[in-house]
Amino acid sequence: MAIDQYPEISENQNLRKLHTFGLDFRCRYFTEVNSISELQSALTFAKESSHPFLILGGGSNLLPTKDFEGLVIRIANHGIALLEETSDTVRIGVQAGENWHQLVMQCLENGWFGIENMSLIPGSVGAAPMQNIGAYGVEVKQVIEQVHYYDLEKKEMKILTNAECRFGYRESIFKQELKDKAVIWQVDFRLSKQPSAKMEYGDIKAVLDGKGILQPSPKDVSDAVIHIRQSKLPDPAEIGNAGSFFKNPVVSVSVYDSIKQNHPEALSYPAGDGLVKIPAGWLIEKAGWKGKTIGNYGVHARQALVLVNYGGAKGSDIYQLAKDIQKDVLMKFGVELQMEVNLI
């Protein structure tokens, strides 16, 4: 397969600036696609040249542990369309390559509400349904009406309704049955035109009270979320990271009770069916990893759930650190931590 038949495909590219861990990460081939025909052409190249391919959005939920000997396809389609408007709601269709935070800002400007608690989550709109992104008491499943995807086996566009996406905590069908079988191309959201502020979760209310805002607008909530996130989480532009490295584990009440015997202050949140969710950051901190630095990488000093690259680290070292943390937390608390970040 002659690469010169594909002028849009470049060779041997370093993707350090195209993911948030800031690691040196090379791929054999790279391309950006704006249309389904460009996607199909890239997939044809990968198939005919017998190379694997990797779909890339904003690169904010990835840990590259080695170079990729295949084709990286970056989803770069753009557009936000108003599909339907009622007196109370709007339905919008958003292309997968749109930036998530920019979408939140644009919706606030237009008076379309429901996603403001998820302000400042990095990444693309197309990746949002993958792990059902969420923050400050809201998950994206609450506003997704349907997801349009390109079926890599049937080679055609398909649509899944919200229920068919089987969303769960940082889960969806796209991480299970449709893993490596679907390229999300457009997400349709149903948003409200009625302002309402959700501020029960985290420090949102305290921040708003501190500013003397008693009847906050969705924009006030967004500003508070941005303020809290900037004070707690490292900015990937300064310190490489992929946000929460692990999911919060869901355990039986008996496991939680045994942890509480030694740590009466241990927090938990109901997770249904007699299960509870324990903050993974708390377990990692109590196991003694918070702020631990090994050369040029480590565990962030303010948020134990975030593994960081201080510059020049190797993905394989960060992966080893993650495995060491998993082993230690299992030994000390009997709890298995699952990685939220996608390994390459």
Ligand X SMILES: Cc1cc2nc3c(=O)[nH]c(=O)nc-3n(C[C@H](O)[C@H](O)[C@H](O)COP(=O)(O)OP(=O)(O)OC[C@H]3O[C@@H](n4cnc5c(N)ncnc54)[C@H](O)[C@@H]3O)c2cc1C
Binding site for ligand X (CB under 6 A): 20, 54-62, 75, 96, 121-124, 126-128, 130-131, 133-135, 182-184, 233, 236, 241-243, 342
Q: If phi over 0 gives left and psi between -120 and 50 gives alpha, with beta otherwise, what is residue 324?
A: alpha
**Residue 41 is among the residues annotated as catalytic for this protein:** no
> For strand 26-33 and strand 297-299, is the pairing parallel, antiparallel, or unpaired?
unpaired
Closest CB 334 distance from ligand X, rounded Å? 26
Cβ atoms of 318 and 307 within 8 Å: the answer is yes
> For strand 89-95 and strand 80-85, is the pairing parallel, antiparallel, or unpaired?
antiparallel
Closest CB 122 distance from ligand X, rounded Å? 4
**Residue 268 is among the residues annotated as catalytic for this protein:** no
Closest CB 274 distance from ligand X, rounded Å? 25
Nearest residue (CB) to ligand X, 55 versus 104:
55
Closest CB 178 distance from ligand X, rounded Å? 9
Q: Which of 60, 124, 172, 244 is catalytic?
A: 244
Cβ atoms of 139 and 133 within 8 Å: the answer is yes
Closest CB 121 distance from ligand X, rounded Å? 5
Structure tokens at 101: 């935070």
* 22: nearest Cα among 64, 53, 76, 73: 64
Taking the C-alpha atoms of residue 323 and residue 130, their distance in angstroms, rounded to an integer, is 23
* 19: nearest Cα among 66, 75, 61, 59: 59
Reported as type and span, the H/E element at residue 185 is: strand 182-192
**Residue 244 is among the residues annotated as catalytic for this protein:** yes
Nearest residue (CB) to ligand X, 174 versus 333:
174
Cβ atoms of 112 and 94 within 8 Å: the answer is no
Nearest residue (CB) to ligand X, 13 versus 89:
13
Q: Which residue has the tokens 């510059």?
A: 311
Q: Which of 98, 170, 222, 268 is catalytic?
A: 170
Closest CB 340 distance from ligand X, rounded Å? 7
The CA–CA distances, whole Å, from 198 to 139, 190, 206, 221 equal: 12, 17, 13, 8
Nearest residue (CB) to ligand X, 9 versus 63:
63
Q: Is the dihedral of CA 250, 255, 258, 262 positive or negative?
A: negative
Q: What share of the chain is helix, strand, coil (3-state, %, to 5)?
A: 30, 30, 45
Residues taking part in catalysis = 170, 244, 340
